[in-house]
Structure 1
Amino acid sequence: MSARACFAIAALLIAVPMSAQAQMPASPEGTPAQRAALERLAFMDGEWRGQATIQGPGGATVLTQTERVGPLLGGSIRVVEGRGYAADGSTQFNAMAIISWDARAERYGFRSYAQGFSGDYPFEVTEDGFKWETPAGPNARIHYVAVIRDGTWHEVGTYVADGQPPRPFIEMRLTRVGDSGWPASGAVAPQPDR
């Protein structure tokens, strides 16, 4: 390999990390815009408990529903975990979501994991809560609207399919039961050198 080729490769190896660093935020805790956007969702933080009623072909199923919500990465994202329990205490539903802010697109990101499925879905903060939706088969979706006010979280998921009237699919009524250090409290502190 010629000296000129070696120089070109070395210059490229140096330039790539420098350009990548220039695009990275100055803080490991995200940008001020991300933190400000996610602060709008601080009303969700804490532990919640109540009831979820799911309408299915065989009738209604009622679960004890819990949600826990908290900031991570210095408040630049919010993490949500939901669990639904049957009367015998067995877990019938478990989901997790990560809410973020995309400053370039000027919109929230909502990544959800539930029952073996995952995806990125439209999410919008409203005056008193939020709304989002997920696909539910060909030409169908479930549209969720949550109102969180005075320690109460009320969320309704409506099944919407082309050519059919919208029909309620799930309804959650939760009460805030307290603060939570989750998920940030699980961080492992570095050990001092000995």
Structure 2
Amino acid sequence: MTVKERQRSGGRSEQVRLAVGRAVLELLAEERIAFTTVEVAERAGVNRRTIYRWWPTQDLLLAEALSQHARDLDVPDLGSLADDVRAFAHRVALFAADPVDLTMTRIMVSGSHPEFNQAIIDHFAPIMAGWYEMLDRAVERGDANQRHLPETVINSLVSPLFLAPLTGGEALIPARVDQVVDLILDAVGAVPR
């Protein structure tokens, strides 16, 4: 049963849920991975027994934060793969360097919160399907070849965009993002701009 199923929307329960999610997001924005239930309760202004009752694990607290923070990475449809991939890559680079998303990535990489990892995977499954459609559209238009699976192309594109802030502390600079895009466009037979 999820937190949302246990609580009615609106009223005090909704206010508590929102306050707890915001508190966790604040901790993540401070790059705090190992926060305590007491810290969340204090920041949210709720009794810690409420936290223990509604979110008995840190994974559930993280999932609550994800539900409030989750942002879509919309895929552009600008008419050419080169334009779509370039616009998309710059969006991903900024997303990956956001302090909350960067901390969530660190949590996933740590492997210490499998339920949270699964919540992220579930959240991004339909979003990633949209990313793959960007390549399918390009193949249909004749903008790209089918030598590589869409999953391979997208993973090759987004991996360095997420890895740069994870290892270097900041997003790739726009010129480096463009270099990654050019490499991907070359791999799929598209003409870089």
TM over 0.5, shorter chain: no
* TM-score, with length taken from structure 1: 0.26
With normalisation by structure 2, the TM-score equals 0.26
Bigger proportion of residues as strand: 1
**Higher helix share goes to which structure?**
2
